[in-house]
């Protein structure tokens, strides 16, 4: 129930922002309160610029530019950068426009590594349609970034380094991973 309310809230925020992707799109990001930002102002500015650049590449449907925002060693639930490229190409073929909203609840930078706890939505306008749909959504997911050659790059999503062993009552121990959200 909470997740549905969150998606509905983010959808309303999207519509309030105009519901359209502009040629010079900027990422729509809500930063966390100051006590949840553990980074220099310059790192915050640079990370915001990275998300703005990625959003601009989405608006232009420039797959090469989109991929430039991911680290060469990108890994998300064992999907590598070539698989991510394929996933983005699939989305670009299905949708006229893609647009994202990010609500950061914590941002931490340590040296050349960053972790951002994010709730967000990736919207898309299906080809031939008039209404946007939710392509992907995530709630309180860590996004991991690394600084390569002076630029922030995405290295993986919610389970970049996380895999849990869970005991399900009456069943054997299983490996559980969070939902698949490879894009951010």
* Average pLDDT, consecutive stretches of 10 residues, N- to C-terminus, the chain (184 residues): 46 45 64 95 96 94 96 84 91 91 94 92 92 90 90 74 44 46 70
Q: Classify residue 183: in a domain, yes or no.
A: no
CA dist 113 and 177 (Å) reads 22
Q: Classify residue 184: in a domain, yes or no.
A: no
Which helix (H) or strand (E) element contains residue 7? Answer: helix 2-16
Q: Where are the alpha helices (DSSP H) in 26-100?
A: 41-60, 63-67, 81-94
C-alpha angle 95/79/124, rounded to 5°? 15
Q: Classify residue 181: in a domain, yes or no.
A: no
Q: Classify residue 38: in a domain, yes or no.
A: yes
At 78, which CATH number? Answer: 3.10.450.50
- The label of the residue with tokens 């069943």 reads 171
Domain enclosing residue 67, as ranges: 2-176
pTM over 0.85: no
Q: Classify residue 154: in a domain, yes or no.
A: yes
Q: Classify residue 145: in a domain, yes or no.
A: yes
The structural domain count of the chain equals: 1
pLDDT of residue 129: 93
């Amino acid at each position: 129930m909470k997740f549905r309310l969150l998606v509905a809230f983010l959808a309303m925020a999207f519509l309030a922002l105009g519901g359209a992707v502009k040629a010079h799109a900027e990422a729509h990001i809500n930063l966390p309160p100051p006590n949840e930002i553990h980074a220099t102002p310059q790192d915050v500015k640079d990370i915001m610029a990275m998300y703005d650049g990625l959003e601009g590449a989405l608006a232009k449907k420039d797959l090469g530019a989109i991929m430039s925002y991911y680290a060469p060693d990108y890994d998300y639930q064992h999907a590598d950068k070539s698989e991510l490229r394929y996933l983005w190409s699939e989305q670009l073929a299905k949708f006229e426009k893609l647009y994202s909203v990010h609500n950061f609840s914590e941002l931490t930078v340590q040296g050349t590594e960053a972790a951002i706890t994010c709730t967000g939505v990736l919207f898309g306008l299906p080809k031939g349609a008039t209404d946007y749909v939710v392509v992907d959504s995530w709630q309180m997911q860590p996004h991991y970034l690394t600084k390569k050659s002076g630029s922030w790059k995405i290295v993986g999503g919610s389970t970049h380094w996380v895999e849990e062993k869970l005991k399900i009552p009456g069943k054997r121990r299983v490996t559980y991973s969070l939902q698949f959200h490879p894009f951010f």
